[in-house]
Amino acid sequence: MSPTSRTRPLAVGHLRAFEAVARLLNFRAAADELSLTQSAVSRQIQALEDELGTPLFLRHTRSVQLTGAGAQLLRAVDPALDRLDSAVRQIRQGAGRRSVAITTWASFASMWLIPRLEDFQREHSDIDIRIDATDSTVDLATADVDLALRYGVPGNAPPHAVRLFGEQLTPVASPWLLQSHPIHTPADLEGVALIEAGDAHRSRHLEWLTWQRWLDTFGQTVPPRRAAGGRRTAPVRLQPQRWLYFNYAHQIVQAALTGQGVAMARLPLVAESLASGALVEPLPSCRMDSPLAYWLVTGPQRTRRPEVQAFCDWLQQQAAATRQAIGDAPDPDTVDRID
């Protein structure tokens, strides 16, 4: 074989035989497993070795042993065949079935979408749902997904995006934390642990998720106190007991649910927890409007499939209930630019 021919991609037709021989270390056993003759398996292995230009097995009278090159190839082939077999099983299982694939980020999937899915499944038990939770933006024109649920400012939303609901930020805490540390004004946050997004400072818009933005709006200083002798002290900056930072919204809320501090929460994502009493909003008059909103984006031509259209209709019904729960006034089809 010429050096040039050894640079082309490896033909994969013989890899199944190689994996079987390498796993069983026996040509006859591999042939029985693959329903082939022993000579057919031997020819496939020989063709593979010729293509690679190096032996993959040491052939002894009564045994077979992998060479170093064979062991190296097996490490790559074994997981590759597992993934291939898994993909084939999924394709066969899904053949002829109706399905909807959604991409969104992990916190939104776990806190808003998944808790509501049972409602859709009751009405559409014949539709399979696949959720791809990722922080990366997926290109709907090329990816194997039908729709995306995204989070951002109106100016960054695609022209055909549908606004599901807007957002307000509000402090939330567990009821037992508030029993030991009542909060009636922003100043009462003094001395309690504050929880927020650790990566909120990475962009201008995500800074709306920080305590600093909220404190700037509703009182970043503790009011003057009466010192000894009746003298009033000068205002001082509010000092929490400590800070807790998390990268994901569901981690922030989980820390608040377990009483670890007061969280700066996205109201649409905690509306259910507030309604159930698992979390309490101690300062309901201090909600802060955010320029960020939640959007439904569909892939090209995907809504023509009845199952995708049914899921989009259901999403908008659920979004309407969320808008009502959080008092979100704008019409979902209105896209207002944020100055």
What pLDDT shows up at residue 106? 92
Domains, in order of start, for the chain: 5-94 (1.10.10.10), 100-224+234-339 (3.40.190.290)
Residue with tokens 């056993």: 29
pLDDT string in tens for the chain (339-residue length): 444 445 555 666 788 889 899 999 999 999 999 889 999 999 999 999 998 999 999 998 888 999 999 999 999 999 888 888 877 776 666 566 788 999 999 999 999 999 999 999 999 999 999 999 988 888 887 778 899 999 998 888 888 899 999 999 999 999 999 999 999 999 899 889 999 998 777 667 788 888 988 988 887 544 444 544 555 444 446 788 899 999 899 999 999 999 999 999 999 999 999 999 999 999 999 999 999 999 999 987 666 789 999 999 999 999 999 999 998 865 444 444 332
- Secondary structure of residue 289 in the 3-state scheme: strand
C-alpha angle with apex 150: 304 to 127, nearest 5 degrees?
40
pTM of the predicted structure, to 2 decimals? 0.66
pLDDT for position 217: 87
Q: Where are the beta strands (DSSP E) in 109-226?
A: 127-133, 147-152, 162-172, 194-197, 221-222
Query: Which of helix, strand or coil describes residue 88?
Result: helix
Dihedral pair phi/psi, residue 103, rounded to 5°: -110, 135
Q: What three-state secondary structure class fits 66?
A: strand
pLDDT at 2: 47
Residue type, 134: T
CA separation for the pair 235, 258 (Å, rounded): 32
How many of the other CB atoms lie within 10 Å of CB of 244? 19
